[in-house]
């Protein structure tokens, strides 16, 4: 696949980078429209998929939820909030992940993994505490 860094792709990447978050295509679309008012949601989706295929951005498909995109393509794990669906990086030391035997892997050649954590984020916990006090 030939790759051209278009103005739209540059803007998408810059917004994803500066956000510091794991944004959905819809969230990124809302942000990018401020810079490129005529951009369509389909264009955002298409370009994010291309950037993900090329390994320029990471694509997260967490528990069947809406895909999110990550500027950081290094190997790392994520945690997501069950209430607000916020996604954050989690620092897992690889030594805590057990080696998988050939028997457990059912004959697969393991090329990578995704470890997914779920919980309630600090903001939702605060909100919940506040609501229970009232």
Name the domain count of the chain: 2
Q: Are residues 34 and 88 in the same domain?
A: no
Same domain, 112 and 131: yes
Sequence-ordered alpha helix ranges (H) in the chain:
7-19, 25-32, 41-53, 122-133
pTM of the model: 0.74
Range of the domain at 45: 1-72
- Both 65 and 79 in a single domain? no
- CA dist 10 and 132 (Å) reads 45
Domain match, 133 and 120 both: yes
In a shared domain, residues 65 and 4: yes
Output the CA–CA distances (angstroms, integers) from residue 98 to 75, 101, 113, 117, in the order listed: 17, 9, 12, 17
How do the pLDDT tens digits run along the chain, 134 residues long? 567 889 999 999 999 999 999 999 999 999 999 999 999 999 999 999 999 999 999 998 876 678 999 999 988 888 888 888 888 888 876 665 666 666 667 777 777 777 788 899 999 999 888 888 76
């Amino acid at each position: 696949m030939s790759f051209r860094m278009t103005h739209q792709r540059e803007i998408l990447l810059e917004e994803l980078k500066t956000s510091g978050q794991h944004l959905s295509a819809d969230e990124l679309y809302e942000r990018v429209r401020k810079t490129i008012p005529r951009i369509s949601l389909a264009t955002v989706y298409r370009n994010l998929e291309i950037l993900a295929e090329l390994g320029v951005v990471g694509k997260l498909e967490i528990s069947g939820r809406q895909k999110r995109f990550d500027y950081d393509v290094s190997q790392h794990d994520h945690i997501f909030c069950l209430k607000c669906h916020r996604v954050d990086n989690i620092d897992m030391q690889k030594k805590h992940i057990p080696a998988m035997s050939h028997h457990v892997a059912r004959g697969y050649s393991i090329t990578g993994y995704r470890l997914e954590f779920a919980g309630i984020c600090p903001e939702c916990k605060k909100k919940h505490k506040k609501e229970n006090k009232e």
